[in-house]
Each structure stands twice: as C-alpha cells, then as structure tokens.
C-alpha cells in the first residue's frame, strides 16, 4: 500500500472503510455519512459512547442544505467570517443523514475544515464525511499521524500522514437551533471572536463548571477526555500555596511534579521535576507544550502532577476546558 495515496484513501471512504487524516485542528477518523456500517465502525474503533454525535464535514457552504434544515440567516454571516475553519454549527438534521451519525439526536454538527488534505479528500470522495477526533475516546486528541498510530494503529483501514495539525485544539461548537445561540464547546475560534458576530451568544453553564438544570447539550462535555493515567491536579499560581504543597509531599516522602510557566518557575525550585510550558505571554507555545506533556506524562510513573491554571479568555477557555477534563479522575 502506498503512503499518502489520496485516491486510494478516497476509494476506501466510498466503499466501506474508515480512514484517519488531518484537519487544521486535530486528526480525524472519517467515514461516509450515508454508510451506516462505516459510521458504526468509527464508534467501535475509538470506544466512543453511543450517545455522542459526530461532526459532519462538508467542502463548501453550498452543501449545507444537504445535511441540515431550518438554517438561520446568522449561519451565513458566520460562514463568511469563519469558514473554512475551526467552527462547528449545530443545526436541525436533514432526514437522509443516517441517525448513527447524530447518535439519534435530531440535530447535527457541521463544519468546513481548513486543511488541504481534508478538503481534497472530501472533494475526491464525493460524499460528506463524518469524523470525530482520531483517538481512543478518553485520550487527548491526536495532532500527528504518530499519535493516531499509537492509539488506533491496526484498527483503521488507512492513515494519511499530513504532518502536524497546526491548531492543536478542536473546533468550537455552537448551537444555532436556539435563541440566543449557545457555546457548547470552546475551541479554535474564541468566544470573544464569536461575540463580534453573535453579541448575545451565551456560554453553556456546564463549561463554567456551574451546577445547572440545563441538560448537557453536547454529550462530549460530560465525558472524561485528555486524561492521562497519572492523577493530575490544577492549582492557581496566584491563589494556592504551591510551596507548602511541595513541602507537604516531601514530608510524606512523596514526589511532586509540576507543569508550569517560565514566570512562575521560581516557585518550583524544590519540586522533583518541572515541565516547562513556556512563557505565559506565548499562548501558542504553551498550548502545544501542554498537550504534548499530557500525552507523555504516563511514561514516568509519577505520584502526583500539579498543573498551573491559566485565564479563561480567548483560546484559554478551550485550553482550561481540556485541562479540567484531564483532572476529572
Ligand atoms: O476539530 C474538530 O472538531 C475535530 C476535527 C476532526 O474536525 N473533531 C472533533 O470531533 O473534535 P469529536 O467527535 O471528537 O468532538 C465533537 C464534539 C463532541 O463534544 C460532541 O458531543 C459535539 O461535538 N457534537 C457533535 N454533534 C453535536 C450535536 N448535534 N449537538 C451537540 N453537540 C454535538
Ligand atoms: Mg474528541
């Protein structure tokens, strides 16, 4: 089998199969939205909960009516500004999309990815494709073909290696079936960017870790994700006394490891090991290092790992969401 043969990958997608390939956010695990068996295969391969719907990826706004109905005018405004890109709309589902894609819900998540390989494969296969991130469901999302190999190697029909994904955090998911629209998952497009087009958009209370009567509208929100086996704790470098915590651990002959920024490094001198994320000024570098560290820490067999928290503006709302879910154990 040739490596990175996109025609071959498209053929698998048309026939029966499941292929992993990159988007600009993370690697996805793809199948034809009209092929029930291939869609079911995705759920089996990544051990995904059967109530958690998949995102449908289309190549252009003109395909939107093929998969969604009752499309509000605002969807077209958002499209002009953010598509192709890391923004997923939740809309009412078109009947012909197999119900396995939407996990039985009457709504559907849709986006146009902004990655040359993803766009070419959607075009070559002639069908809309559904994809979740290409990881085992409790693991961090994969940002390289190697991550996909590590999690799923023998279980997918073909993996296209398109190098590293460049955003490293998944798309933002917004519910456009309600008024005002609601942010369901923070991601590559920030809440502040969305507010420019949707001034009345609300954040689902679940994301702010508030108790709420509102149902969890995006099932992915309730599952443990990004979680390493090692127990991870969060601390605020301003409010929590991490130096006392280090002393506590040592008094009990336990080791303590810290994941943190350059600015706070001076507080961690007595920690047993320190993973440097980078300067708090450089968000991009910090998020790349953070996800890479979360993927790695299990190889060290650590007692306790403490990770600094960050603010929740811009892309940080998305990063803090992933971090909190990594700690849920
Ligand atoms: O960046 C991304 O979105 C990546 C790439 C591959 O496109 N995909 C991705 O898919 O992250 P997945 O399945 O790992 O996450 C999809 C999220 C889940 O939290 C799911 O619950 C939510 O989107 N979602 C999908 N359809 C939905 C719907 N109809 N209503 C509410 N939430 C939905
Ligand atoms: Mg995922």
pLDDT tens for 295-308 read 888 788 777 899 99
pLDDT at position 1 is: 47
Pair 198, 253 in one domain = no
Which residue stretches of the chain have pLDDT < 70? 1-2, 209-225, 328-329
Maximum alpha-carbon separation in the chain: 64
Pair 153, 261 in one domain = no
Say if ligand 1 is within 6 A of residue 108 CB.
yes
- Residue nearest (by alpha carbon) to ligand 1 atom 20: 220
- DSSP string across 97-131: S-TTTTTT-SEEEEE----HHHHHHHHHHTS-EEE
Looking at all shown ligands, the one closest to residue 223's CA atom is 1
Q: Does the residue 226 lie in any domain? A: no
Say if ligand 1 is within 6 A of residue 23 CB.
yes
Pair 135, 188 in one domain = yes
Residue 122, domain CATH: 3.90.870.10
Q: Does the residue 74 lie in any domain? A: yes
Pair 152, 70 in one domain = yes
Looking at all shown ligands, the one closest to residue 221's CA atom is 1
What separation in Å is there between the alpha carbon of 55 and the centre of ligand 1? 5
Task: Kindly report the backbone phi and psi dihedral angles of residue 149, in degrees, each rounded to the nearest multiple of 5, phi listed first.
Answer: -60, -45
Nearest to 60 by CA among 110, 8, 7: 110
User: What is the per-residue pLDDT across 148-207, written as a single tens digit (0 to 9) for each?
Assistant: 999 998 899 999 999 999 888 899 999 999 999 999 999 999 999 999 999 999 999 888
What separation in Å is there between the alpha carbon of 131 and the centre of ligand 1? 8
Say if ligand 1 is within 6 A of residue 54 CB.
yes
Angle at 123 between CA 118 and CA 127, to 5 degrees: 100
Would you say 157 and 12 are in contact if contact means Cβ atoms under 8 Å apart?
Answer: yes
Write out the residue range of the structural domain in which residue 145 sits.
3-208
Q: Does the residue 227 lie in any domain? A: no
pLDDT at position 101 is: 97
Which atom of ligand 1 is the closest one to the Cα of 105? 29
Say if ligand 1 is within 6 A of residue 172 CB.
no
Number of domains in the chain: 2
Pair 198, 248 in one domain = no
Q: Does the residue 298 lie in any domain? A: yes
pTM, two decimals, is 0.90
Residues 6+ positions from 127 with CB-CB distance below 8 Å: 13, 14, 32, 33, 34
């Amino acid at each position: 089998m040739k490596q990175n043969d996109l025609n071959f990958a498209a053929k698998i997608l048309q026939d029966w199969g499941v292929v992993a390939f990159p988007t600009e956010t993370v690697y996805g695990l793809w199948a034809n939205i009209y092929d029930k068996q291939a869609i079911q295969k995705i759920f089996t391969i990544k051990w995904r909960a059967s109530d958690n719907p998949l995102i449908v990826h289309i190549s252009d706004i003109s395909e939107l009516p093929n998969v969604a109905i009752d499309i509000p005018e605002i969807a077209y405004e958002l499209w002009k500004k953010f598509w192709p890109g890391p923004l997923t709309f939740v809309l009412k589902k078109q009947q012909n999309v197999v119900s396995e894609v939407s996990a039985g819900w009457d709504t559907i998540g849709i986006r146009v990815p902004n990655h040359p390989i993803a766009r070419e494969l959607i075009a070559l296969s002639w069908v809309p494709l559904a994809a979740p991130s290409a990881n085992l469901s409790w693991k961090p999302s994969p940002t390289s073909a190697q991550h996909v190999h590590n999690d799923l190697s023998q279980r997918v029909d073909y993996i296209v290696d398109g190098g590293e994904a460049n955003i490293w955090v998944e798309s933002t998911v917004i519910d456009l079936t309600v008024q005002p629209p609601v942010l369901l998952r923070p991601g590559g497009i920030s809440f502040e960017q969305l507010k420019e087009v949707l001034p009345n958009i609300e954040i689902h209370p679940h994301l702010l870790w508030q108790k709420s009567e509102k149902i969890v509208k995006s099932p992915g929100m309730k599952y443990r994700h990004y979680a390493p086996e090692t127990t991870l704790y969060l601390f605020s470098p301003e409010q929590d006394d991490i130096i006392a915590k280090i002393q506590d651990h040592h008094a009990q002959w336990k080791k303590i490891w810290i994941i943190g920024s350059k600015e706070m490094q001076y507080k961690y001198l007595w920690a047993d090991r320190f993973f440097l994320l980078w300067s708090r000024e450089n968000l991009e570098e910090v998020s790349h290092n953070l996800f890479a560290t979360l993927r790695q820490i299990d190889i060290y067999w650590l007692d306790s790992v403490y990770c600094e928290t960050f603010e929740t503006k811009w892309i940080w709302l998305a990063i803090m969401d992933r971090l909190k879910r990594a700690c849920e154990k």
